[in-house]
Chains A and B, each alone.
Chain A
């Protein structure tokens, strides 16, 4: 039992230490602003097109599915409300986070993993640079800034996707749809919809860095680290969204 439990507990401990150092470095010089902007470009701008695409189609699909159920009660006019709440509170943050986890947790893990196996991380330390300061903290900051922004874009594009169906297929007017969508959202929904991507960003970036930095075993090890990073980051997104939803539902 002890042998079985030791590795995951030790890994969790290492992860918490890495997270602690990465956060501490935010307040300590030197700050690598160039790296932060480069990562914001890679994570934020780089993920924009895929986030827009999936956001749009998820809004489209939710509207189509919901309209059928609402039609039974003659309430298709309320579809904007359902789309807005579902996307802003849950699907927007989670779908965007899963996409970014697949795209960037893997990218981060493979980049840092390759650096580890080619001794670039050791070289960095030998040349007087803290790899956590230079590599982890900029990725964490960039992800925490861009993921909430991407989520806002995804939410909006999703609601717009819903509007396309509401207008073309359900025959709702623009004001009917947008008023119902706008009025459905409360302060609590917005806070929840922005807090979730912030927490996900923190976990996705650090999981990617964590598995990248502990890569061993050459190129095969890089592949393994990349897979682990995506799987673990994705699972944590679902676990955390359940936890956060529970907290916010109770607050209501």
Chain B
């Protein structure tokens, strides 16, 4: 392990307390409880339609639960009005499934959007321009600043989405299926960027995915700021238990709106539950 360990902060960023949500007769979320702290990486696995995206949207207050409480940065967001939520949401970065970029404006304007939209003091356009180029350089797409999202490939759109999510350096970043529908090489590039962002900013990450490999990479690799590469956190590339889980990665598994597993990679791999073990390829 070459990179310094992130400072462990026990501040609670996101708390779900017995959250339930139904759409007509369909149960989207049921009895969801967990607490996410600063410095943690949480990987939510689950089959399509298991409620992963709904959980992520509920965490942002985009969908309101029928029951239970959701606390974001210690503030209960269930009952807040939309305008009151804006200030809290500005501290959260989010990457939507297909990037969620605005089609009608350029890549540069998309990335600048969170900066220009914040209800803070006016910032100079030069500063915004510099930050946009920096954010796009981070995802290695600075040449696309004047292009429109429709001119980019799926993987590039997601990389721009990551740049937009992290330009304000938020303490918590939510990723909704960042690798869905991408080829393995592009998917690895995206995950490497997410790990790089996590270890550059010490941000907490909540990653919703169907691919175990995404979580495996987050749990066992760390970005080395000195040489600019991803490196395994231990000799054999595996996190073994809490003490040697330096990336503080916790796996969660969802099934039909319920949280059926919460634990480390080792606990996940040791699970004998037939549903949970389906997410862990045999060779790991």
Binds A, one of B34-42, B83-91, B129-137, B220-228: B83-91
Closest B residue by C-beta to A118: B98
Shortest C-beta distance, A130 to chain B (Å), equals 6
Say yes or no for A122: interface residue by CB 8 A criterion.
yes
Say yes or no for A8: interface residue by CB 8 A criterion.
no
Say yes or no for B22: interface residue by CB 8 A criterion.
no
When distances are taken between beta carbons in the complex, the residues of chain B under 8 Å from A74 are none
Complex CA–CA separation, A20 to B86 (angstroms): 21
Closest B residue by C-beta to A122: B62
Q: A127-B117, A128-B117, A129-B117 are in contact. Are A119 and B97 (CB under 8 A)?
A: yes
Complex CA–CA separation, A130 to B117 (angstroms): 11
Binds A, one of B100-108, B139-147, B231-239: B100-108
Q: A130-B82, A130-B83 are in contact. Are A125 and B62 (CB under 8 A)?
A: yes
A120, A128, A130: most-surrounded residue (chain B CB, <10 A): A128
The answer on a CB contact under 8 Å between A120 and B100 is yes
Say yes or no for B148: interface residue by CB 8 A criterion.
no
Closest A residue by C-beta to B94: A126
Query: Which residue of the partner chain, among A118, A119, A128, contacts B86 with CB atoms under 8 Å?
Result: A128
Within 8 A of B (CB), among A76-131: 114-115, 118-120, 122-130
Query: Which residue of the partner chain, among B87, B92, B100, B119, contacts A122 with CB atoms under 8 Å?
Result: B100
When distances are taken between beta carbons in the complex, the residues of chain A under 8 Å from B94 are 123, 126
Shortest C-beta distance, A111 to chain B (Å), equals 9
Shortest C-beta distance, A154 to chain B (Å), equals 29
The answer on a CB contact under 8 Å between B102 and A126 is no
When distances are taken between beta carbons in the complex, the residues of chain A under 8 Å from B57 are 122
Say yes or no for B96: interface residue by CB 8 A criterion.
yes
Q: A126-B94, A128-B89 are in contact. Are A120 and B119 (CB under 8 A)?
A: no
Say yes or no for B68: interface residue by CB 8 A criterion.
no
Q: A126-B89, A128-B90, A130-B83 are in contact. Are A119 and B96 (CB under 8 A)?
A: yes
Q: Scoring B residues 8 to 42 as 1 if CB is less than 8 Å from chain A, else 0, what string do you get? A: 00000000000000000000000000000000000
Closest B residue by C-beta to A126: B94
Give chain A's interface residue range (CB within 8 Å of chain B).
10 to 19
When distances are taken between beta carbons in the complex, the residues of chain B under 8 Å from A127 are 89-90, 113-114, 117, 164
Q: A120-B103, A122-B96, A123-B100 are in contact. Are A128 and B62 (CB under 8 A)?
A: no
Shortest C-beta distance, B23 to chain A (Å), equals 10
Say yes or no for B75: interface residue by CB 8 A criterion.
no
Say yes or no for B60: interface residue by CB 8 A criterion.
yes
Complex CA–CA separation, A127 to B91 (angstroms): 10
When distances are taken between beta carbons in the complex, the residues of chain B under 8 Å from A125 are 60, 62, 82, 89
Complex CA–CA separation, A129 to B92 (angstroms): 14
The answer on a CB contact under 8 Å between B102 and A120 is yes
Shortest C-beta distance, B206 to chain A (Å), equals 13
Shortest C-beta distance, A120 to chain B (Å), equals 6
Say yes or no for B118: interface residue by CB 8 A criterion.
yes
When distances are taken between beta carbons in the complex, the residues of chain B under 8 Å from A122 are 57, 62, 96, 100
Complex CA–CA separation, A122 to B113 (angstroms): 14
Shortest C-beta distance, B26 to chain A (Å), equals 13
Complex CA–CA separation, A129 to B87 (angstroms): 11
Complex CA–CA separation, A128 to B120 (angstroms): 12
When distances are taken between beta carbons in the complex, the residues of chain A under 8 Å from B102 are 115, 120, 123-124
The answer on a CB contact under 8 Å between A126 and B113 is no
Complex CA–CA separation, A125 to B64 (angstroms): 13
Shortest C-beta distance, A193 to chain B (Å), equals 35
Complex CA–CA separation, A49 to B62 (angstroms): 41
Within 8 A of B (CB), among A195-215: none
A115, A123, A124: most-surrounded residue (chain B CB, <10 A): A123
Within 8 A of A (CB), among B59-83: 60, 62, 82-83
The answer on a CB contact under 8 Å between B98 and A119 is yes
When distances are taken between beta carbons in the complex, the residues of chain A under 8 Å from B82 are 125, 130
The answer on a CB contact under 8 Å between B100 and A118 is yes
Shortest C-beta distance, A215 to chain B (Å), equals 15
Q: A123-B96, A126-B92 are in contact. List 13 more A-B contacts (CB 8 A).
A: A115-B103, A118-B98, A119-B100, A123-B101, A126-B94, A126-B100, A127-B114, A127-B117, A127-B164, A128-B87, A128-B117, A128-B119, A130-B83
Chosen A-B contacts, 14 in total, with CB atoms closer than 8 Å, are: A114-B103, A115-B102, A119-B97, A119-B100, A123-B101, A126-B94, A126-B100, A127-B117, A127-B164, A128-B87, A128-B114, A128-B117, A128-B119, A129-B117
Query: Which of B's residues lie within 8 Å of A, judged by CB?
Result: 57, 60, 62, 82-83, 86-87, 89-90, 92, 94, 96-98, 100-103, 113-114, 117-119, 164
Query: Which of A's residues lie within 8 Å of B, judged by CB?
Result: 114-115, 118-120, 122-130
